[in-house]
Amino acid sequence: MMGKATYLDHNATAPVRREAADAVCDILRLCGNPSSVHGAGRRAHGWLETARERVAALVGRPPSHVIFTSGGTEANALALKGSGRSRVFVSAIEHPSVLNAVDHAELIPVDADGIVDLDWLDMALEECGREALVSVMAANNETGVLQPMGKVAEVVRRHGALLHSDVVQLAGKAPLDKLSAQTHMMSLSAHKLGGPQGVGAVIADELDVALTPLIKGGGQERGKRAGTENLPGIAGFGVAAELAGSDLEDAERLTVLRDGLENRIAQIASTTVFAAQDRPRLSNTSCFAVPGLKAETLVMALDLAGIMVSAGSACSSGKVKASHVLKSQGWPDDLASGAIRVSLGRTTTEADIEKFMDAWTEVYFRLAPENKPEGAAA
């Protein structure tokens, strides 16, 4: 029957690194508020600043640019709402935490692969650039498609607008130094790169943008985010950020695994549609749909077979609806509601891919028996 479950949902959350978990536990056993001036407080402040330095090193910025938050969602909200810009433009394929951060966000259209329309953006910023903030995610969480952030930055800066990028999915999968130099603000989340859940960061230089805090009270985080810092989570975040560089070397291996998986899926079901397959993507991400099959059914069937993947359109309620990302790219509702995402990570092995393919083959032919080759085993 089913053995150990195979986890292929790293874009949702990555397995916590042992070193990061150890850091969380170590801090939990100790006492000290980073804002206190006595010995325990000074030690706590030291741990806080060490983590800040590690996160800053990950993105190639000074530690003073790092503002810790409760996660990527709060980081995105602080960047967009706190910027004070009267016009906010976000790409149509952003994470809901960006799409819903402000009530008046204007959508930047994308092409069939999810790449932003730079000509549209150029025209939109023509008259309001200095009043605008533009938010474009560097790598999409559902399809893995990579945006041409250098070209986006050229357009945005030419018009005097601010540029924010949600780099939650890119962190730990590609170097961030170049992107950091191109953007005014970035958002990070610890649990996407092997840290604990419930902690993230905004990367922002006060010379570029004076953020207005969403949470007011004490003067923590340079007055940009009040409340005693989640020191255990931040410590784990710092350790994960420091170790994330080692994952960059894994990109080629994951690309081979991902491409091999897609080739085998296409051989089994020739009608499979893959998202952004011919565009630069995260090496670990595959998003695809088979016409006539529903994502909810596929995810449940694979889960029963010991394979954990996600519907590209899954929401916090656990319900599945047509993906807004794929619909923005022109996919019809029935196809967009059938897409599933397989996302690999540092713990993924060739054996995991084999287990997925065994389960996928059985599930596919069970749900679409008319496509089963003659003479194939029942």
Q: Quick one: which of 120, 97, 119 has its CA closest to 107? A: 120
Mean of the per-residue pLDDT values for the chain?
Answer: 94
What is the band of 318 on the pLDDT scale with cuts at 50, 70, 90? Answer: low
φ, ψ (nearest 5 deg) of residue 19: -65, -35
Annotated active-site residue 287? The verdict is: no
**231-244 and 39-59 helices, crossing angle to 10°:** 30
Task: Identify which of 198, 247, 219 has the alpha carbon closest to the alpha carbon of residue 24.
Answer: 198
> If one looks up domain 6-14+248-371 in CATH, what number appears?
3.90.1150.10
pLDDT digit string, tens, across residues 64-79: 999 999 999 999 999 9
246 has a pLDDT exceeding 90: no
Q: Which of 25, 31, 287, 315 is catalytic?
A: 315
> Residue 298 pLDDT > 80, yes or no?
yes
* Mean pLDDT in residue range 302-311: 96
Residue 9's DSSP bridge partners are 343
CA distances 246 to 92, 241, 242, 280, 343, Å, are: 32, 10, 9, 21, 18
Instruction: Return the bridge partners of 189, or none.
Output: 200
Q: Which CATH number fits domain 18-246: 3.30.70.380, 3.40.50.300, 3.40.640.10, 2.60.40.1930?
A: 3.40.640.10
- What DSSP element (H or E) covers 7? strand 6-7
Indicate the domain borders of the chain: 6-14+248-371, 18-246
Confidence of residue 3 (pLDDT cuts 50, 70, 90): low
pLDDT at 208 over 90: no
188 pLDDT band, cuts 50/70/90, is very high
DSSP label of 351: H
Residue 2 has pLDDT above 70, yes or no: no
